[in-house]
């Protein structure tokens, strides 16, 4: 059973009001912070429209987290202060079974992605004072393209994969989170306050499945080892 689940209005969709909550415990130190599929499956949920189905499955000989969005959108998230001076690199492997052709992802009607991973930094004490970087598997934008979220300027999207060239394949990602905040917000932060992942298809009625593995914050930029068929 997940810890919590409730709905947010579209205008708050990428801000995650709960990031405002004071995080208990110290920031993560110099050791890598790795999240297993079993750990991520038990993260709290935030529902935007229905419930994306999350479960651990065996794929290519390893347990991975599967996310199935059939016209739904809910995210798994972790509230935790993470020290980017010690572990600046966010690494993971992902795979999708399809994209959503024809979407204009810069509009509210097209703001759906078969897979996304995002990080959040609290920039003030008010609920809307949050800066979010969304790493997305885009259906129509070229890899490397960045644009503001259609619902709020406080969330910036960055396409790491674009189109169907690698659909059905495992892809390893490594991001320097501080550098991405500098590029997208003009600010270089020493910590973030949470991480989340999602597959969503609520705005355009999409149906896609994504798989996630090896989500890690690290001091080492070496790409993670992905499952192999």
Percentages of the chain per state (helix, strand, coil), in multiples of 5: 10, 45, 45
Copy the structure tokens of residue 171. Answer: 């892809």
Ranges assigned E (strand) in 36-124: 45-49, 53-59, 62-70, 73-83, 89-96, 113-122
Query: What pLDDT is attached to residue 229?
Result: 60
Query: Using CA of residue 26, residue 152, residue 4, residue 95, what is the dihedral sign?
Result: negative
pLDDT in tens, the chain (229 residues): 333 333 344 433 444 433 333 333 334 344 899 999 999 999 999 888 888 999 999 999 999 999 999 887 889 999 999 999 999 999 999 999 999 999 999 999 999 999 999 999 998 877 778 999 999 999 999 999 999 999 998 999 999 999 999 999 999 999 999 999 999 999 999 999 999 999 988 877 788 999 999 999 999 999 999 998 6
At 224 the pLDDT is: 96
Rounded Cα distance between 158 and 73, Å, is 19
Task: Sketch the domain layout of the chain as residue ranges.
Answer: 33-209
Cβ of 119: how many Cβ atoms within 10 Å? Answer: 23
Measured distance CA(194)–CA(117) in Å, rounded? 11
Which of 114, 219, 220 has the alpha carbon at shortest distance from 162?
A: 114
For residue 126, give every residue at least 6 positions away whose Cβ sits within 8 Å of its Cβ, in sequence order, or none.
20
Structure tokens, 108: 């509210």
Tokens 């798989």 correspond to 211
pLDDT value at position 144? 97
Q: Are the C-beta atoms of residues 33 and 40 closer than 8 Å to each other?
A: no
CATH 2.60.120, applies to 33-209: yes
Q: Which residue's structure tokens are 């993470």?
A: 82
């Amino acid at each position: 059973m997940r810890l919590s689940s409730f709905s947010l209005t579209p205008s708050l969709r990428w801000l995650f009001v709960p990031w405002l909550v004071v995080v208990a415990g110290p920031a993560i130190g110099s050791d890598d912070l790795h999240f297993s599929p079993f750990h991520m499956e038990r993260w709290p949920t935030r529902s935007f429209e229905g419930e994306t189905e999350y479960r651990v499955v065996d794929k290519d000989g390893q347990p991975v987290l599967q996310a199935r969005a059939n016209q739904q959108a809910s995210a798994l998230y972790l509230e935790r202060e993470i020290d980017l001076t010690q572990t600046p690199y966010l690494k993971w492997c992902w795979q999708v079974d399809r994209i959503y052709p024809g979407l204009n992802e810069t509009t509210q009607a097209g703001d759906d992605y078969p897979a996304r991973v995002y990080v959040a930094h609290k920039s003030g004490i008010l609920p809307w004072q949050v800066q979010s970087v969304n790493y997305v598997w885009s259906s129509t934008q070229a890899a490397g393209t960045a644009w503001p979220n259609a619902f709020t300027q406080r969330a910036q999207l960055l396409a790491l994969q674009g189109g169907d060239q690698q659909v059905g394949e495992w892809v390893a990602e490594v991001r320097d989170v501080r550098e991405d905040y500098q590029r997208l917000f003009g600010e270089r932060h020493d910590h973030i306050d949470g991480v989340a992942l999602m597959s969503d298809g609520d705005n355009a009625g999409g149906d896609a499945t994504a798989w996630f593995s090896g989500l890690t914050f690290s001091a080492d930029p070496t790409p993670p080892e992905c499952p192999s068929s």
